[in-house]
Amino acid sequence: MTLALEENKKYWKQFSQEDRMCGIDINLFEKLIEDLFINFKNKSILDFGCGTGRIYPFFSKICKDYFGVDITQEVLNLFKAKYPSAKFSLIEGFDIPINDESFDVIWCWSVFTHYPIEDIEEMLKELKRILKKDGKIYCSFIISENLEEDYQEVGFFTHRQQKIEELFTKLGFKLRYPKIIFPTEGFMLKQTLMELRL
Ligand X SMILES: C[S@@+](CC[C@H](N)C(=O)[O-])C[C@H]1O[C@@H](n2cnc3c(N)ncnc32)[C@H](O)[C@@H]1O
Least separation, in Å, of the C-beta of 113 and ligand X? 7
> Contact between 68 and ligand X (CB under 6 A)?
no
Applying CB under 6 A, among 110, 124, 128, 157 the residue interacting with ligand X is: 110
**Residues of this chain, 6-65, that bind ligand X according to CB under 6 A:** 8, 12, 21, 48-51, 54
**Cβ–Cβ under 8 Å, residues 47 and 56:** yes
**Cβ–Cβ under 8 Å, residues 120 and 167:** yes
Specify the residue, 111 or 142, whose C-beta has the smaller distance to ligand X.
111
Site stretch for ligand X (CB under 6 A), options 33-41, 69-77, 156-164, 174-182: 69-77
Site stretch for ligand X (CB under 6 A), options 4-12, 149-157, 163-171, 190-198: 4-12
Contacts of 103 (CB under 8 A, 6+ apart): 44, 45, 46, 67, 130, 131, 132, 135
Q: 106 forms bridges with which residues in the sheet? A: 46, 137
- Candidates 25, 84, 80; CA nearest to 51 is 80
C-alpha 132/C-alpha 128 separation (Å) is 8
Q: Which residues bind ligand X (CB under 6 A)?
A: 5, 8, 12, 21, 48-51, 54, 69-72, 75, 91, 109-111, 114, 123, 187
